C-alpha cells in the first residue's frame, strides 16, 4: 500500500448533502457555503446537477463571479442515456453549459444495476462511460468519473466492475472515484479493492463513501491509506439516508493523525466555524457530540478527568481542540469534583473559589442535583451559586411572598375558553418592601409582569430581559400530575443569552 503524499478534498455538501431530508439550500445559501468552503481550503466544490434542475444551473451561472481563491467549482451529471450520441444528451450539454473547469460524471459499475435499473446491456454501459468521458474531454474539461456502486459491483462481478473503470481511464478521466453508494462496505474490503483497482489504472483514485454502516470516515481513510488521492464528502456528514462521509472528521484525521497535508494547519482552525456555519444555513441543529467540532467534543464531566486536565491539558483529549478551532470545556454536575468547580469558575471569569469554599459549592451542586436541578445545561445557575458563596455577597432582592389567582372560563360558542390570571408579588430590596400586582393571560405571564413592576424600579435593565425558550422535564414519571418537574429557562437581554434551572413542586 502506498499512502498518498497529498490529498485533494472534494466537497459535495451542495449536491449529495442537499439530498438529506429536510435540507434545502437556496442559490444564495449555496454561494455563501461555497465561499466558506474555499476559505477552509477545500479543493473542489461540487455545486449541483445542472441537468436535473434550474436552481443548480443558476448556481453555476452566479458561481462564475465568486472569485474563489483556491477551490474549483465542479458540475455533476450522469453518463449519456443508452443508444444516443453524447452530443444529443441534454444532461451532458448542461454539464458543459455550467462553465466549470472540471466535471464529475457518474456511471454504473455494478452489473445488476446496469441490467435491472438502467435496463441496458453491459456493453452499452461501457460505451456510455467511454463516449461521455471522451465527449467532455473533447470540450476541454477535466473529467472525474464517479464509479457508482463500485464496491458492491466488485463483489458481484469483479471483472465487469474493473472494465467500467478502465473504460473511463482509457477515455481520459483524470481521477476515478470508487463509490460505496449503499454505504455497506467494510474498511478492510475498501482497502483491498482500492489496491486492486490501482494496479489496473493510470488515472488517480478517489473515494466517495456513504455512512449506512457508520463506516464512511473509516472507509475514506482506509482508501487514502491504500492510495486514493481524492476524498469526497460533506460538511457534518449531511446526505441521504445515514449521510455521506463527514469531511469534518476526515480533514483533521488526515492532517493531524496521518500526516497527509490537505488544508494546512492555519485553515484547519476554521473547521469548527465552517461546521456551524453550514448547519445554520442547512437549518439542522448542530450535533453537540459530533467528533472534533461539536460543542461537547472536548467537554469534561467526570471529576477525575477534570483533575487530570488541570495538570495536563491533553490528559483526556485525543487532540488539542484549538487545532480545529474548538475548545475544551468542563461540565458541572453531581459527578464533578472540586476541580470542575474551579475550572468552570475560571472559564466563566468568576471569582475562583478555593479550598473549603470550593468544596461547599460542590456539596451544594450535589445536593441540589439530587433534588432535581441540573447544572450541566444551566451555567447561569452555577454562576449564581459561585457568587452567593462569596463572603461579601448581598442578594440584589429577596422574594418575600407571592400569590396567583387563576380563573378559567369556558366559552363553548367561541370553541374554547379563556384564562384570566392575577398575581401579587412582595419583594424586598435593601430595607424596602415593594408590593405589586398585575394581570396576565396566564399565571406565568401575570407573575412575570408583577415581578418586573417591582424590580425595574431598582434595576431598569430588567426591562430588557426576555424569555427565549423553556423546557420542562418530569422527574418521577410514575407520579403522574403529582410528579416534580424541572424547568430549564433560557433568557436574553438582547445582547447575551443564558440558561437557569429550577425544580417546580
Residue nearer to Zn ion on the CB measure, 224 or 489: 224
Residue nearer to Zn ion on the CB measure, 234 or 336: 234
Q: Report the distance separating Cα 52 and Cα 154, nearest Å.
A: 29
Output the smallest distance, CB 289 to Zn ion, in A. 24
Output the smallest distance, CB 33 to Zn ion, in A. 18
Residue nearer to Zn ion on the CB measure, 189 or 334: 189
Residue nearer to Zn ion on the CB measure, 11 or 16: 16
Q: Report the distance separating Cα 235 and Cα 281, nearest Å.
A: 12
First CA to last CA distance, the chain: 64
- Residue 133 phi/psi, 5° resolution? -65, -50
Radius of gyration of the chain (CA): 30
For 415, the grid coordinates are 370553541
Output the smallest distance, CB 209 to Zn ion, in A. 8
- Residue 433 phi/psi, 5° resolution? -110, 125
Residue nearer to Zn ion on the CB measure, 86 or 153: 153
Q: Is 156 helix (H, G, I), strand (E, B) or coil?
A: helix
Residue nearer to Zn ion on the CB measure, 16 or 211: 16
Output the smallest distance, CB 103 to Zn ion, in A. 16
* Sign of the torsion formed by the C-alpha atoms of 386, 390, 395 and 399: positive
For 266, the grid coordinates are 492555519
Q: Report the distance separating Cα 362 and Cα 306, nearest Å.
A: 14
Output the smallest distance, CB 208 to Zn ion, in A. 6
* Interacting residues of 486 by C-beta distance below 8 A, sequence separation 6+: 372, 373, 374, 472, 473, 475, 501, 502, 503, 504
Residue 96 CB neighbours (<10 A): 18
Residue nearer to Zn ion on the CB measure, 231 or 423: 231
| Cβ 491 vs Cβ 466: under 8 Å | yes
Query: Footprint of Zn ion on this chain (CB under 5 A)?
Result: 16
Residue nearer to Zn ion on the CB measure, 16 or 131: 16
| Cβ 468 vs Cβ 491: under 8 Å | yes
For 102, the grid coordinates are 472540471
Output the smallest distance, CB 240 to Zn ion, in A. 7
Our measurement of the distance from residue 290's CA atom to the centroid of its chain's CA atoms, rounded to an integer in Å, reads 7
Name the residue whose CB lies closest to Zn ion: 16
For 120, the grid coordinates are 441496458
Residue nearer to Zn ion on the CB measure, 16 or 111: 16
Residue nearer to Zn ion on the CB measure, 37 or 427: 37
- Half-sphere exposure in the Cβ direction for 484 (13 Å, CA): 11
Output the smallest distance, CB 228 to Zn ion, in A. 15
Q: Which helix (H) or strand (E) holds 411?
A: strand 398-411
Three state DSSP letters for 196-253: HHHHHCCCEEEEEEECCCCCHHHHHHHHHHCCCCEEEEEHHHCCCCCCECEHHHHHHH
Output the smallest distance, CB 233 to Zn ion, in A. 10
* Interacting residues of 300 by C-beta distance below 8 A, sequence separation 6+: 306, 309, 316, 328, 329, 330, 331, 340
Output the smallest distance, CB 467 to Zn ion, in A. 43
Per DSSP, helices labelled H in 52-104 are 54-63, 90-97
Output the smallest distance, CB 49 to Zn ion, in A. 12
Say which DSSP state 294 is in: S
Output the smallest distance, CB 62 to Zn ion, in A. 24
Report the number of secondary-structure helices (H) and strands (E) in the chain.
Answer: 17, 16
Residue nearer to Zn ion on the CB measure, 149 or 486: 149
| Cβ 300 vs Cβ 322: under 8 Å | no
Output the smallest distance, CB 146 to Zn ion, in A. 8
Amino acid at each position: 500500500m502506498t499512502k498518498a503524499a497529498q490529498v485533494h478534498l472534494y466537497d459535495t455538501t451542495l449536491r449529495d448533502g442537499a439530498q438529506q431530508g429536510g435540507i434545502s439550500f437556496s442559490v444564495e445559501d449555496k454561494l455563501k457555503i461555497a465561499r466558506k468552503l474555499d476559505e477552509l481550503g477545500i479543493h473542489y466544490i461540487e455545486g449541483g446537477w445542472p441537468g436535473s434542475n434550474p436552481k443548480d444551473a443558476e448556481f453555476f451561472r452566479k458561481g462564475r463571479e465568486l472569485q474563489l481563491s483556491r477551490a474549483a467549482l465542479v458540475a455533476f451529471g450522469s453518463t449519456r442515456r443508452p443508444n444516443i450520441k453524447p452530443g444529443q444528451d441534454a444532461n451532458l450539454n448542461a454539464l458543459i453549459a455550467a462553465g466549470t473547469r472540471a466535471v464529475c460524471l457518474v456511471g454504473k459499475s455494478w452489473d445488476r444495476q446496469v441490467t435491472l435499473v438502467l435496463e441496458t446491456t453491459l456493453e452499452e454501459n461501457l460505451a456510455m462511460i467511454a463516449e461521455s468521458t471522451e465527449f467532455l474531454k473533447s470540450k476541454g474539461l477535466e473529467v472525474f468519473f464517479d464509479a457508482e456502486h463500485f464496491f458492491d459491483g466488485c463483489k458481484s462481478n469483479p471483472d465487469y466492475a474493473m472494465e467500467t473503470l478502465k473504460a473511463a481511464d482509457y477515455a481520459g478521466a483524470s481521477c476515478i472515484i470508487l463509490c460505496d453508494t449503499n454505504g455497506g462496505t467494510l474498511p478492510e474490503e475498501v482497502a483491498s479493492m482500492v489496491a486492486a483497482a490501482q494496479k489496473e489504472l493510470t488515472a488517480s483514485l478517489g473515494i466517495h463513501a456513504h455512512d449506512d454502516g457508520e463506516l464512511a470516515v473509516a472507509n475514506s481513510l482506509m482508501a487514502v491509506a491504500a492510495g486514493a488521492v481524492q476524498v469526497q464528502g460533506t460538511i457534518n456528514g449531511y446526505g441521504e439516508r445515514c449521510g455521506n462521509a463527514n469531511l469534518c472528521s476526515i480533514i483533521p484525521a488526515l492532517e493531524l493523525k496521518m500526516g497527509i497535508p490537505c488544508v494546512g494547519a492555519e485553515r484547519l482552525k476554521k473547521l469548527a466555524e465552517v461546521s456551524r456555519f453550514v448547519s445554520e444555513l442547512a437549518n439542522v441543529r448542530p450535533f453537540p457530540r459530533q467528533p472534533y467540532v461539536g460543542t461537547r467534543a472536548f467537554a469534561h464531566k467526570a471529576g477525575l478527568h477534570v483533575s487530570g486536565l488541570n495538570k495536563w491539558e491533553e490528559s483526556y483529549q485525543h487532540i488539542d481542540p484549538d487545532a480545529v478551532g474548538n475548545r475544551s470545556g468542563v461540565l458541572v454536575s453531581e459527578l464533578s469534583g472540586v476541580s470542575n468547580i474551579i475550572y468552570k469558575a475560571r472559564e466563566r471569569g468568576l471569582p475562583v473559589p478555593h479550598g473549603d469554599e470550593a468544596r461547599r459549592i460542590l456539596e451544594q451542586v450535589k445536593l441540589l442535583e439530587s433534588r432535581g436541578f441540573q447544572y450541566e445545561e444551566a451555567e447561569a445557575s452555577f454562576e449564581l451559586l459561585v457568587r452567593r458563596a462569596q463572603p461579601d455577597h448581598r442578594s440584589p432582592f429577596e422574594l418575600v411572598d407571592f400569590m396567583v389567582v387563576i380563573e378559567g372560563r369556558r366559552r363553548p360558542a367561541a370553541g374554547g375558553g379563556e384564562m384570566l390570571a392575577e398575581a401579587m408579588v412582595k419583594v424586598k430590596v435593601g430595607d424596602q418592601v415593594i408590593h405589586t400586582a398585575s394581570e396576565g393571560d396566564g399565571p406565568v405571564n401575570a407573575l412575570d409582569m408583577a415581578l418586573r413592576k417591582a424590580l425595574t424600579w431598582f434595576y431598569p435593565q430588567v426591562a430588557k430581559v426576555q424569555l427565549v425558550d423553556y423546557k420542562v422535564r418530569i422527574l418521577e414519571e410514575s407520579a403522574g400530575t403529582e410528579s416534580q418537574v424541572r424547568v430549564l429557562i433560557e433568557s436574553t437581554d438582547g445582547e447575551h443569552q443564558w440558561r437557569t434551572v429550577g425544580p417546580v413542586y
